[in-house]
Structure 1
């Protein structure tokens, strides 16, 4: 069911996700990094014409499933809003220990700063 409030370019479809281990491995081999208190963002250029996102929220760092799911929803929402500003890159976001204890506002602010950092770093290379 489609949401009429979402603009077509603000959706998060399967083409905007990293789906295979090979795609994740490509990001981990030679990444451009950006970090914040609660997240590490790794990125590398891709051959698509749009950015793609992968998420890693380890049980070791975020114990409860409800907290892991909240973080993933928050990151996807942030990516959805910022994707038009990003170059054609593959991004992997790793949640750090303690990130589930922060408010959504704080996390969203950190993510916006990370998107800006990575866009500048990847545009320069």
Structure 2
């Protein structure tokens, strides 16, 4: 089940309290939630991407990436709120490249999660 973040205060909470993971094509802000599912939010700024066509393509790519690879998130011990910001190069690329980048970000979250579980 894919649940999207919609409210501005949800995005702001993830930005303020979440951890940032930088990638080449996207930046992910991740915050543990106390829900039984992950939630996903997408942003594509005019400053980073330009016109509406580019912003909408970037958002479609990110949503499709999350839809196709949300099963990866089931391997994580906690559930998270994800806010993913598109970077300039994303709209020109195919979804497979975005998927590979998202998989790297998820693996970084998993690695950090296992570290904190081991010490916490």
TM-score range with shorter-chain normalisation? Answer: 0.7 to 0.9
Matches within 5 A, 1:1-125: 9=1, 12=2, 16-86=3-73, 87-122=78-113, 124-125=115-116
Distance across 2 between alignment mates of 1:114 and 1:54: 15
- CA offsets per residue over residues 45-64 of structure 1, 9 Å max, x none? 11211110111100111113
For this pair of structures, how many residues does the alignment match? 112
Q: For 2:34, what is the secondary structure of its paired residue?
A: coil
Q: For 2:31, what is the secondary structure of its paired residue?
A: strand
Q: Is the 8 A contact 1:27 1:92 kept in 2?
A: yes
Q: Is the 8 A contact 1:62 1:97 kept in 2?
A: yes
CA RMSD of aligned residues (A): 1.9
| Cα distance change on mapping 1:46 and 1:105 into 2, 3 Å | same
Higher strand share: 2
TM-score normalised to structure 2 length = 0.79
Distance across 2 between alignment mates of 1:76 and 1:104: 10
Deviation at residue 27 of structure 1 after TM alignment: 0.5
Indicate the larger mover: 42-51 or 114-123. Answer: 114-123
Q: For 1:49, what is the secondary structure of its paired residue?
A: coil
Higher helix share: 2
Q: For 2:9, what is the secondary structure of its paired residue?
A: helix
Q: Is the 8 A contact 1:33 1:118 kept in 2?
A: no
- CA offsets per residue over residues 48-87 of structure 1, 9 Å max, x none? 1111011110011111322222221111121122223324
| Cα distance change on mapping 1:122 and 1:56 into 2, 3 Å | farther
Deviation at residue 92 of structure 1 after TM alignment: 0.4
